[in-house]
Structure 1
Amino acid sequence: MTEDRCLKCGQEAEDSNHVFQRCPIAKEVWSQLNFSWVFNNNNFDLWSWLTWVFSEGTNEQYRGFCYGLWIIWTSRNKFLYESKISTSWDISKQIKSYILELEGIRERELTLVTSTKSSQRLQRENTTIFFDAAFDSKHNRSASGLVVKE
């Protein structure tokens, strides 16, 4: 296996399209999350694919999709820099757990402000995704972050 091959599957060169769309691990994760619809149009470069996904889904799906991107990338980095192996099931479980945790936080917030927010409609004009990753060679740890602004 050459160094430019995907770390998880070794089937083809690792680029962003492969990591998030074509890698069998990523495909299994999206399927386990009931996000198979993201493959309805995956013949694009990464930016076009992301734009298409965000034009087709709901706000709830956007959040789950972004969590998925973030955890898939984090899993890849943990494998590369920390030799921590995650299966598609592990990754899916982590994403679902994160979604449930954030929904619980959101529920608490909503109960505090229901009277002021009840008549407002959410209108989304633009969604911006910021993503960053770093590696601390001193402590041999990786980290990544994802911010979605609606």
Structure 2
Amino acid sequence: MRVNLSLRKITRNILCPRCGGREETMNHLFRECPVSQSVWRELSNPIFTMFPEAEFIEWLTKVLALLPLEKCRIYCGTLWAIWGDKSSRIHNKQGKSSQEIVNFVHEYLKELDGIKT
């Protein structure tokens, strides 16, 4: 996260590369960033947005404890895709829309299902 990199004097830019509006923390990147919020809304599962006051690790733990296995896969895949989108915006100067991220998660999980033996 950019806030942590700033504390280590690695960067001075602490703003979220996805929205540019707030400091990039774990909570912001995965939960508070408007881009991420749109992704979670498009997944249409209210469990994903539960515990709005919890810090990231607490939210992650509580949501995983409540989800059935198939929803855990979607949840974890979405977290990974949000991270990947952030990295792509930094390194490749291109990002995906929230719908593209959701489609990517579903297609990736289908692909994983296809390689099961």
Q: CA deviation at 1:34?
A: 2.2
- Do structure 1's residue 57 and structure 2's residue 67 form an aligned pair? yes
Pairing 1:20–2:4 present? no
Higher RCO (CA < 8 A, seq sep 6+):
2
1:5 deviates by: 1.6
Name the structure 1 match of 2:9: none
CA offsets per residue over residues 5-43 of structure 1, 9 Å max, x none?
211112211111111111111111112122332212121
The yes-or-no answer on 1:39 pairing with 2:46 is no
> Which residue does 2:13 correspond to in 1?
3
Structure 2 length normalisation: TM-score? 0.82
- Matches of 1:17 and 1:103, distance apart in 2: 30
1:58-137 map, 5 Å: 58-106=68-116, 109=117
- After TM superposition, where is structure 1 displaced by more than 2 Å over at least 4 residues in a row? 34-37, 103-106
Q: Which amino acid aligns with 2:23?
A: A
Q: Larger radius of gyration, structure 1 or 2?
A: 1
Structure 1 alignment gaps of length 5 or more: 110-150
- Structural RMSD (CA): 1.5
Deviation at 1:66, TM superposition (A): 0.7
Paired with 2:22 and 2:47, the residues of 1 have a C-alpha distance of: 23
Please tell me whether the aligned partners of residues 19 and 33 of structure 2 are also in contact (alpha carbons under 8 angstroms).
yes
Residue-pair matches, total: 106
The equivalent of 1:142 in structure 2 is none
Measured in 1, the distance between the counterparts of 2:59 and 2:47 equals 12
Gaps of 5+ in 2: 1-11
Identity among equivalent pairs (%): 28
Q: Quick one: which amino acid aligns to residue 69 of structure 1? A: L
Which amino acid is the alignment partner of residue 22 of structure 2? E
**Structure that is richer in helix per residue:** 2
Deviation at 1:93, TM superposition (A): 1.1
